[in-house]
Chain A
Amino acid sequence: MAAFGSFALLIALALAAYNLFAGAVALRLIATGQPAAVSPERLADTARRAGIAVFVAVTMAAFALVWSVFTNDFSITYIAEHSNRALPGAYKFSALWSGQEGSLLLWAWLLGIYGFILRLTHKTDVKLYAYAGTILAAIQVFFLSILCFAAPPFSVLQGTIPDDGNGLNPLLQYPEMVIHPPMLYLGYVGFSVPFCFALGALMMRYPGEKWIKITRVWTMVTWLFLTAGIFLGMHWAYAVLGWGGYWGWDPVENASFMPWLTGTAFLHSVMMQEKKGMMKSWNVWLIFSTFLLTLLGTLLTRAGLVSSVHAFAQSSIGTWFVVFMGTVLAVCAFTYILQHSHLKADHHLESLVSRESSFLFNNLVLLTACFVILWGTLFPILSEYVVGNKVTVGAPWYNRVAVPIGIFLLFLTGVGPLLPWRATSFRSIRRNFVLPTIALWATVIVCFAVGVRPWQDGEFDTGNFYALVAFAVSAGVATAILSEFLRGAGVISKQTGKNLIVSTWLLTRRNTRRYGGYIVHIGVVIVVIGLAGSAFNRNVERELALHDKMSIGPYTLEEIGFTQDSNLNYNSDYALLDVYRNGVKQFQMTPEKRVYLASEQPQTMVAIHSTFEWDLYVVYEGTNPDTGQPIIKAFLNPLVGWIWAGLAVLVFGTLLALVPSLSPATASLRIPATRTNPTEPALKGGHS
C-alpha cells in the first residue's frame, strides 16, 4: 500500500504540473492570438481534465493512508508514529491529520476537492475558470512537491517493523478532533479558490464585476468552514486542555483568526465594489492577504517558529513555505503593477455618515485587529532578533490591546446597518438610533443593579468594565438589528395583511443576503455576550476525601467515590461527584484522568454540566502524592453556552445569505453594472 500511495502522489504531481504548464501555454496563446499546432482551446481543456484527474490521484493516496491505518501497517513510519492497534476506529481517521505528512496530505486532498468542483463548474465562465484552474494547479504543484520530496507520508520504516505503533497523541483522542481539523482545513484551503479567481481576473483584465460575485460566494462558503473550525477548536480546547478557558491567544489560534479577519473584511468591502464600483484594488489585496495569511499560519505552526499547545505537526518544511510565500507575493505584486490600470475605481462618497463610510471603518477596524494579532504573534521573534531577548506576549497583552478593538467592532456591527447608502439626515439618525441607545443605557442600569460594575470592593476591575461595555453595546446592537427586521416586516405586513412573523420571513426571503447578514451579526452579539461572561469566572480547588464537600456558586459537590477503569487503549482514574443545589441532588459528574498505554501520556477528561446561565466545569487533577487524596478543581464559567449558541445562529445566517433571494418585483428594471457582449466566444472573449 505504501508503494501504491507514493505512486498515486507522483501521478498527482505530474498531472498538476501538466495542468499548470498546458493551462499557462493555452492561456498565453489565447491572449496573444499566436498561431499554434494545437488548438489553444483544446489544450486548455486537456489541462482542465488533468486537474480533475489530480483529485482522483490524491484521493487514492489519501485512501491508501487511511487503509494503512486501519490495517495497522506499521511498516509505514507515519502509521507507526501516529496509530496503534487499540485505537478506536473514529480516531484512526484522525491519524490522517495528526502529524505533519498526513495533515499535508489532507490539505492536498481538500485542495483537490475544491479544484474538482471548480473545474467541473467551468461553464459558468470558461475563461475565468481556466485562469483560476491554472493558478490552483500551481498551488497543487507546491503541496504535492512537499508530499513527494520533503514530507512523504508513505516513507517506509527502516529496520524491524514494530508489533504496535506509538499511538495517537492523547490530546487528539476526543470526538471533536474528528471534525475540527477537517473543518478548519476546509476553511484554510478554501481561501485558495477566491485567491485564484482574484489573481486570474486581474491577469486577464476581467471585464465587469461578475468575478467578484463568483469570488464572494466561494469566500462565504470558505469563511463559514473557517468560522465553524475556529469555534470547534475553541470547544476542543475548553473540553480537553482542562484550564477552564477556550481561547488563550495561542499562536495557532491566532494563525486561524487572522485570515478570518481579512476574509470578513473582504465580505464587507466587496459590497462597495458591487454596489458602487469602489475599492477594487483594496478587495484584490484583501483576498491576496487572506491567502498569504493562511500560508503564514501554516508556516508559524509547522516550522516551530513559535511554541504552541496546538502544534502537533512540526518539522523543517518552513523553508518551502517561505519560498512559496515569497513567490506568491512576488506574482501578486507583479500582476498588480502590470494590471492596476484595470482596477481604476469610481471613488465617491456623498456623506461621511453613510453605509459606505461605515464599511470603510469596518475594514479599518478588522485590519487593525488582524495587525494587532500578527504583531503579538511575531513580537517575540522580533524582540529576540532586535535585542536578543525573547519575551512572552500572552493573554494580558491581548486583553489590553485587542479587546477594546473588538468592542469597537461590535459597535460598528450595530451602527453600519442603520446607516443608509449614499447619505443620511439628522432626522433619520435620530429615528434609527433612539431605540438602540435606550437599550444600551437600560442595560448599563440593569448591570449596575445586578452587581456588574467596573468597581469591585472599591477597586477598578478591567474585566468587569469590559464585560459591562460588551453587554451594553451588545444590547444596543441587538436592538438596532431587530428594529431593522421589525421596520421592514411592518411595511410588508401592511402591504400583504400577513402577520409579523410571516412578514419577517418574507422580508428575509426577498433579500437573503442582507437579512442573512443581519442574523450573522445577531450571532456575533450572542457570542460576545458569552465571551464577556468570562469576566466572572470562578474556580476553587480542593483535596476531597470520601464524602468531603466543596462549594462553588450555588452548587455543592460531594465526593462519593474514587475508582479506576481500564481498556486496551488507556487506564483511567475518575472521581464520582454528586452535585447538589439548594440541598437537593441534581446530577452526578465524573471527571477523569487517563493514561494512554501506547504513548504513556496522561490526559484530563473534564466533566462539564452546561446550562443557559453557566457551565459547571470539573477537573480531576490527580492525587496528592503525600496524602493519596484526589484533587478536584471546579470552575463556574458564566454564559459559555451562549458562545456555542451564537455559532449556531452565525452558521444559520451565513447559510441563509447563500440562498438566492426571491426575485423583487422590479428585477426587470435592474440595469447591469457593465454591459458585455453575450455572443463573445467563451475562451477567446471575456466571459460567457
Chain B
Amino acid sequence: MKDRERLSFWFKGMQVAALAVAVCFSLGATDAGTRYTNLNHRMMCTCGCAQILGECNHVGCTSSTAELQELRTGIAAGQSDKEILDSFVAKYGAVVLAAPTTQGFDLVAWIAPFAVFAAALLGTILLVRRWSVGRTAVSATDAASLDPEERERRERIRRETGDGGF
C-alpha cells in the first residue's frame, strides 16, 4: 500500500512537471524587439547561403535586407506571427521557414523522431525484461553448483579487475 501511495505521488509529481513544461513552452514573446529576433530566427535567408535570416552575415545581401525589412513592416503593421510567416511562405515558398510547420505532411517531421524513440525505448524495455526473466533461477543454480573455492576465485578476479572495460 505504501509503495502504491509513493508511486501515485511520483506519478502526480511528473504530471505537474509535464504541465509546467508545457505551459513554459506555450508562452510566446510579446514585445516587438523580441518578436523581431524570434521571427528572424524562424526563417532562412533566401540568397542560397543556407543561413538563418537573423544570422546572415553578408553585407549588402539583397535577400536578407529585403526580408528583414518586410519582417519589420509586418510587425509594425500589427500582424500576428502566423500572418507574417504565412505571407513569407506565400512569397518565397515553404523553404523560407527554418523548420517544418506542424501541419500536413510537415507534421511527420516532428512526430517521427519521438515515435521512433518511444518505439525503441519500449523495445529495449521489453528486451531487458525478456533477458531478465528466468535468469534469477538459473543464476541461483549456477552459484549453488560452484564450490566455495571457485566462488572465492571468481569473486577475487571480479574485485581486482573490476570486470575490465568500463
**A583 close to chain B: CB less than 8 A:** no
In chain B, positions 151-166 with a C-beta closer than 8 Å to chain A are 153, 156-157, 160-166
Q: Is the CB of A350 within 8 A of B135?
A: yes
Distance (Å) between the CB of A379 and the closest chain B CB? 5
Interface centre among B50, B96, B112, B121, by most chain A C-beta atoms within 10 angstroms, is B50
A242 within 8 A of B: yes
The contact of B100 among A347, A379, A670, by CB within 8 Å, is A379
Contact, CB under 8 Å: A393 / B165 = no
Question: Does A511 lie at the interface of the complex (its beta carbon under 8 Å from any beta carbon of B)?
Answer: yes
Contact B51 A375 (CB under 8 A): no
Cα A669 to Cα B157 in complex, Å, equals 7
Q: Are B95 and A390 in contact (CB under 8 A)?
A: yes
Cβ–Cβ contact A379 & B164, under 8 A: no
Contact A621 B57, beta carbon cutoff 8 Å: yes
Q: Is the CB of A625 within 8 A of B163?
A: no
Q: Is the CB of B166 within 8 A of A416?
A: yes
Q: Mark B123-165, 1 if CB is under 8 A from A, else 0.
A: 0100111011001101100000000000001001100111111
The CA of A459 and the CA of B37, in the complex, are separated in Å by: 14
A460–B24 CA distance with the chains assembled, in angstroms: 6
Residues of A near B136 (CB, < 8 A) are 350
Count how many pairs of residues, one from A and one from B, have CB atoms less than 8 Å apart in the complex. Answer: 165
In which size bucket is the chain A interface? 35 or more
A359 to chain B, nearest CB (A): 8
Q: For residue A631, which residues in chain B have a CB less than 8 angstroms away from its CB?
A: 59
With a CB–CB cut-off of 8 A, which chain A residues contact B163? 275, 421
CB closest chain-B residue, reference A421: B163
Is there contact, CB below 8 Å, between B120 and A368? yes
Q: Is B66 part of the binding interface, using a Cβ–Cβ cutoff of 8 Å?
A: no
Say which one of A59-67, A224-232, A244-252 lies at the interface with B: A244-252
> How many angstroms from the CA of A633 to the CA of B54 in the assembled complex?
13
A66 to B30, CA, bound (A): 58
Most A-side CB within 10 Å, residue of B28, B41, B42, B161:
B161
- A433 contacts B by Cβ under 8 Å: no
Cβ contacts under 8 Å, A271 to chain B: 165-166
In the bound assembly, the distance between CA atoms of A619 and B59 in angstroms comes to 11
Q: Which one, A9-17, A46-54, A87-95, A395-403, is touching chain B?
A: A395-403
- State which of B27, B55, B166 has its C-beta within 8 Å of the C-beta of A244: B55
Q: Could you say which residues of chain B place their CB within 8 Å of the CB of A339?
A: none
Chain A residue with minimal CB distance to B156? A666
Contact residues in B for A308 (Cβ distance below 8 Å):
50
**Residues 351-400 of A contacting B (Cβ, < 8 Å):** 351-352, 355, 357, 360-361, 364, 367-368, 371-372, 375-376, 379, 383, 386-387, 389-397, 400
The stretch of B7-15, B79-87, B101-109 in contact with A is B101-109
Q: Look across to chain B and name the residue whose beta carbon is closest to the beta carbon of A355.
A: B166
Contact B59 A391 (CB under 8 A): no
A254 in the interface (beta carbon within 8 A): no
Assess the B50–A307 pair: CB atoms within 8 A. Answer: yes
Say whether A454 contacts B112, CB under 8 Å. no
- Whether the Cβ atoms of A669 and B156 lie closer than 8 Å is yes
Q: Which residues of B sit under 8 angstroms from A125, Cβ to Cβ?
A: none
A371 contact set on B, CB distance < 8 A: 113, 116
Does B97 interact with chain A (Cβ within 8 Å)? Answer: yes
Asked if B49 CB lies within 8 Å of chain A CBs, one says yes
Contacts of A633 in B (CB 8 A): 57
* Residue in B closest to A397 when the chains form the complex, CB atoms: B99
Please judge, given known A-B contacts A243-B51, A372-B113, whether A391 and B106 are in contact too, CB under 8 Å: yes
Q: Is the CB of B50 within 8 A of A245?
A: no
In Å, the complex CA distance between A391 and B95 comes to 5
User: In the complex, what distance in Å separates the CA atom of A283 from the CA atom of B10?
Assistant: 37
- The smallest beta-carbon distance between A215 and chain B, in angstroms, is 15
Shortest distance from the beta carbon of B128 to any chain A beta carbon, whole Å: 6
Q: Are A396 and B98 in contact (CB under 8 A)?
A: yes
Closest to A274 in B: B165
CB neighbours (8 Å) of A465 from chain B are 24
Give the most central of B42, B56, B132, B136: most A CB within 10 Å: B132
Q: Which of chain A's residues have a CB closer than 8 A to the CB of B69?
A: none
* Chain A min CB distance to B135 (Å): 5
Complex Cα gap A462–B34 (Å): 14
CA distance A642 to B25 in the complex (A): 29
**Cβ 8 A contact of A395, one of B52, B56, B138:** B52
Contacts A275-B165, A465-B24 given; 18 further ones with Cβ under 8 A?
A: A248-B50, A274-B164, A347-B131, A355-B166, A364-B124, A367-B120, A379-B100, A383-B109, A387-B104, A392-B95, A416-B166, A421-B163, A459-B28, A514-B165, A514-B166, A622-B59, A624-B59, A625-B60
User: 6 A-B Cβ contacts within 8 A?
Assistant: A242-B57, A379-B100, A459-B27, A621-B59, A624-B59, A664-B160
The 3 A-B pairs with the shortest beta carbon distances in the complex, nearest first, are A397-B99, A394-B98, A622-B59
